[in-house]
Amino acid sequence: MRDIIPTLPKERGWMFEHLLQYNGFWFTPTSILDGVIFLQHHFKPRPTDIFLATSPKTGSTWFKALIFATMNRTNFELSNHPLLTTGPHGLFPFLDTYIFQNDHYQDSISSLKSLPSPRLFSTHVPYSMFPDSATDASSGCRFVYICRNPKDVFVSMWFFVNKSRTKEVSPMSLEEAFELFCRGVSPYGPYWDHVLGYWKASLESPNKILFLKYEDMKNDPVVHVRRLAEFIGKPFSAEEERNGAVEEIIRLCSFENLSNLEINKNGAERFSPEIAVDKSNFFRKGQVGDWKNYLTEEMAKRIDQISDDKLYGSGLKFGT
DSSP 45: -
- Between strands 50-54 and 142-147, the pairing is parallel
With H, G, I as helix, E, B as strand and everything else as coil, classify residue 232. coil
| Closer residue to ligand PAP, CB minimum distance, 72 or 254 | 254
d(CA 190, CA 181) in angstroms, rounded, equals 7
Sorted by sequence, the CB contacts under 8 Å of residue 108 that are 6+ apart come out as 38, 42, 99, 100, 101, 102
| Closer residue to ligand PAP, CB minimum distance, 86 or 254 | 254
d(CA 283, CA 81) in angstroms, rounded, equals 20
| Closer residue to ligand PAP, CB minimum distance, 171 or 313 | 171
Cβ proximity of 21 and 180 under 8 Å: no
Q: Shortest Cβ distance from residue 312 to ligand PAP (Å)?
A: 26
Q: Shortest Cβ distance from residue 181 to ligand PAP (Å)?
A: 14
| Closer residue to ligand PAP, CB minimum distance, 110 or 219 | 219
Q: Shortest Cβ distance from residue 218 to ligand PAP (Å)?
A: 7
| Closer residue to ligand PAP, CB minimum distance, 62 or 192 | 62
Give the torsion through C-alpha atoms of 119, 95, 64, 27, to 10 deg: -160
Q: Shortest Cβ distance from residue 219 to ligand PAP (Å)?
A: 12
Catalytic residues: 124
For helices 245-252 and 60-71, give the axis angle rounded to 10 degrees: 140
For helices 297-311 and 150-164, give the axis angle rounded to 10 degrees: 120
Q: Shortest Cβ distance from residue 57 to ligand PAP (Å)?
A: 4
Q: Shortest Cβ distance from residue 72 to ligand PAP (Å)?
A: 17
DSSP string, 236-275: PPHHHHHTTHHHHHHHHTSHHHHHTSHHHHSSEEE-SSS-
Q: Write phi, then psi, for 143 (nearest 5 degrees).
A: -120, 135
Residues near ligand PAP (CB under 6 A) are: 54, 56-62, 152, 156, 159, 253-255, 258, 282-286, 290
Cβ proximity of 228 and 67 under 8 Å: yes
Instruction: Write the single-letter amino acid at 70.
Output: T
DSSP 32: H
| Closer residue to ligand PAP, CB minimum distance, 132 or 222 | 222
